[in-house]
Amino acid sequence: MKNFTLKQSWKKVYAKDADEQISTLRTYHMNDEEETEVEKEDIVEGHRYGNTLVPMSADDKENMKYRAEKCFKILGFTKGDKIKRHHYLGDGSSYVVPEKDDESAAIALSALINALYETNMVAIVRKVYSAASGPKLGCLIPHIKTEYECLIYVELPFREDIRQFTFGSLPITEDNKANVKNAPSADQLKAVDDLITDMDLSQTGDDEEDIVEALKPKFVFNPHFQRLYQCLQHRALNPDDQLPELSPLIANYLKPPQEIITKCEPGVEKIQKLFKLEEVKRKEDRTGEKLFKDGDEAEGGPVKKQKLDDDLQGGIWEKDIFWMDEAEGGPVKKQKLDDDLQGGMEDITKAEVTEVSCHGIQNN
């Protein structure tokens, strides 16, 4: 029983004429100045080993494959609770049933299923689908219903496939002295536990007799498939119209059940009261312009910028001043104050201040 997927029958067509034939042409070129074209038969895969590229042809890959005989063999048994849900692999599961009209096989398999069910055990098996496929590890879980009984095969990871990550524990015990100030209180822990219990989708209902599983996959439509079907139907009936808006019925699939939302509201409000959030203001970068501005405001308000000629008797009536150099015998242009400063004084005041000393201000 695999996960259901849509049959991909999409075809590429020319948007302006759907009847026009489209063909794909793919060429391979070398990464050189001439972009030399090469044939596909002359290309092999390459894998890096340090700084070396190791070519690997299709024949090499075929010879490296592990060869195994087709089999479905029980390796041993273990308790069912030792098989964790997050260890399940694959895109689905398989049902193991006896061969039709084989009474002896049905009796033998039924005995195994009932023995596993009564002892809460599962069987660990080795599965090789064919000689061309690699071996896989899995478990057989007993499944008994009124109408039938079977074993459910689920693929499991090998030891090398499991990645164990170690994270620092929360400071919730007295033995852990690290970061004690962030340790949650007993009320905070209880509030989170209560919210998790209220959000449980496996048991919903007002009465104990009416408790059912919410969002059970058997009774819930896939919103991705439903939206695709909606667009296909609309485009088939209205080829020239825009795609429709999302149907309210499909949008409702994306929302949690109203019963769960109502049940969780008191827990969410309690968490908001116990876990208070404080806004942390970001420290602003101090520039020379900002530094001088703050200094002026501290002295009693903004200070008007003083012109260069305010303290000069008579002022300066021209931007550029010329004077006669008696030694050279001709006029010489007076140099501006910021001619030797890259960017001028305005950029210096806007630069970030990194150090202030008695000799001046050093900036970047």
With a pLDDT cut of 90, the percent of the chain lying above it is 31
Bridge partners (DSSP) listed for residue 126: 73, 137
Q: Are 76 and 83 in contact (CB under 8 A)?
A: no
212 and 260, same domain (yes or no): yes
Q: Cite the DSSP H helix spans in the chain.
A: 58-64, 103-119, 186-198, 223-237, 248-253, 258-274, 288-298, 344-350
Q: What is the pLDDT, as a whole number, of residue 140? A: 96
Structural domain including 342 reads: 288-303+311-363
* Environment class of 140 (CB within 10 Å of its CB; exposed 0-12, middle 13-18, buried 19+): buried
- Which runs of consecutive H residues, i.e. helices, occur in 155-222? 186-198
pLDDT of residue 252: 87
pLDDT of the residue at 175: 63
pLDDT digits (tens, 9 = 90+) for 338-352: 445 555 555 555 555
- Statement to judge: residues 151 and 76 lie in one domain: yes
Residue 56 in any domain: the answer is: no
Q: Which of 197-206, 228-237, 315-324 is least confident? A: 315-324
Q: Report the interhelical angle of 186-198 vs 258-274 (nearest 10°).
A: 170
Q: Is residue 264 part of a domain?
A: yes
For the record, the structure tokens of 200 come out as 């449980």
Residues 245 and 218 in one domain: yes
Q: What is the mean pLDDT of residues 333-337?
A: 51
Question: How confident is residue 167, by pLDDT bands cut at 50, 70 and 90?
Answer: confident
| pLDDT for the residue 113 | 95
- Same domain membership, residue 200 and residue 144: no
| Distance between CA atoms of residues 43 and 36, nearest Å | 13
What does the radius of gyration of the chain's CA atoms come to, in whole angstroms?
39
- Pair 320, 333: CB distance under 8 Å: yes
DSSP-assigned letter for residue 352: B
DSSP bridge pairs for 149: 144
CA distance 85 to 202: 15
| Distance in angstroms (rounded) separating the CA atoms of residues 152 and 94 | 6
pLDDT band at 360, cuts 50/70/90?
A: very low
Q: Please check whether residues 81 and 142 belong to one and the same domain.
A: yes
Buried b (16+ CB within 10 A) or exposed e, 243-270: eeeeeeebeeeeeeeeebeebbeebeeb
Domain CATH code at residue 89: 2.40.290.10
168 falls within a domain: no
Burial class (CB in 10 A: 0-12, 13-18, 19+), 125: buried
Question: Using CA atoms, how far apart are residues 222 and 253, in angstroms rounded to an integer?
Answer: 8
Q: Is residue 55 part of a domain?
A: no
Asked if the structure places residue 107 within a domain, the reply is: yes
Q: pLDDT tens digits, residue range 277-319? A: 888 888 777 666 666 666 555 555 555 555 555 554 444 444 4
Closest by CA to 353, choosing from 297, 291, 293, 295, is 291
- Give the count of domains, the chain: 3
Q: Does 190 lie in the same domain as 119?
A: no
- SS3 of residue 226 by DSSP: helix
Using DSSP, state whether 52 is helix, strand or coil. Answer: strand
Confidence band of 320 (pLDDT split at 50, 70, 90): very low
Backbone φ, ψ for residue 346 (5° rounding): -65, -40
Distance of CA 186 to the CA centre of its chain: 33
Would the pLDDT of 324 be above 70? Answer: no
On average, the pLDDT of the chain sits at 79
State both tokens at 296: 């002026």
Task: Give me the residue label for tokens 């890096």.
Answer: 48
Residue 168 has pLDDT above 80, yes or no: no
Residue 239 forms part of a structural domain: yes
pLDDT tens readout for residues 2-30: 666 776 667 777 777 777 888 888 999 98
Q: How many CA atoms lie within 13 A of 196 on its CB side?
A: 6
CATH number at residue 263: 1.10.1600.10
Instruction: State pLDDT tens for residues 217-245.
Output: 778 888 888 999 999 999 889 988 899 99
Return the DSSP state at 241: S
Same domain (yes/no): 217, 296: no
- pLDDT higher than threshold 70 for residue 266: yes
Specify whether 136 is located in the same domain as 194.
no
- Same domain for 257 and 219? yes
